[in-house]
Amino acid sequence: MRRVHIKGILWLELGNGGYSSGGYIADSKVDGITINGSQQQWLTRDSELGGDWTNGIWNQVFSGVLGAPAQGFPNPPYTTLPTSPVTREKPYLFVDAAGGWRVAVPGLRHDTAGTTWGAGAPSVPSLPLCDFYIAKPTDSAQRINQELARGRHLLLTPGVYHLDRALRVKRPDTVVLGLGMPSLARPPATPPCGSRTWTAYGSPVCWSTPGRRSRRCWSRSAGGTATAATRPTRSRCRTCSSGSAAPASAGRRPAW
């Protein structure tokens, strides 16, 4: 859950003993108490809690959260950090004062606490939606690559994209934003992505920081053959479809 203001009580389970396992809250504010229930692992980051946080099973982490419960691990299972060391919020759609659709692209932040949208928060850089190619699951990889080659950003609408080749994002600072749960599916033994310097948000494939020297990272095909792909420093490969790619090895972690 991101960028949400709960003006009351927040239930993290169905209530009265409903099933729950774990989750994530970022850049959000809860005015009332949070009923955690039987959540096992949970991360709350850069948010505000106005009331108590109840219960907890195994591991509850609070990073840069105003009103977070006190450090208590292992009993209660709360790990509390006063600030988040390095963060970058996911881009989001919004409508500007003139009624136009835009995509906000938050920048990198250090040692943060609380939400990005509270009183006195600085404005966030944004891009007009017309700068994006709005892809549909029926689009081919060739069509998407053509739009990327024209210099457009990419917005993936929900659905499963059956791709016959890698998506190639070659322009630095290209924004790739997934809405809902878009999934990129590929044939076996096909490299999951052909990017060099780009940053993906939401469901797509890689994280990177433009302008850095290259590092090797590895992906594994469905048949088990390891193949190397060039990625920038501080990159982490993500799988395009289930069971395909392993995480990159050592190196700095990307922003949470």
Global pTM reads: 0.68
pLDDT value for 207: 30
- Give yes or no for a contact between 112 and 95, defined as CB atoms under 8 angstroms apart: no
Cis peptide leading into residue 187 (ω within 30°): no
What span, in angstroms and rounded, lies between the C-alpha atoms of 248 and 14? 37
Over the chain (256 residues), the average pLDDT of each successive run of 10 is 94 76 93 87 94 86 95 90 95 94 95 90 92 96 96 96 92 92 79 46 37 34 34 34 33 40
pLDDT value for 195: 45
How many Å separate Cα 197 from the centre of its chain?
17
pLDDT value for 111: 96
pLDDT value for 190: 59
Closest CA to 129 of 158, 151, 152, 149: 152
Place of tokens 């009993």: 75
pLDDT value for 191: 57
What span, in angstroms and rounded, lies between the C-alpha atoms of 236 and 88? 15
What's the pLDDT tens digit per position in 179-206?
Answer: 988 999 876 665 555 544 334 444 333 3
pLDDT value for 199: 41
Q: Which two three-digit tokens encode residue 46?
A: 């850069």
Looking at the DSSP bridge assignments, the partners of residue 231 are 215
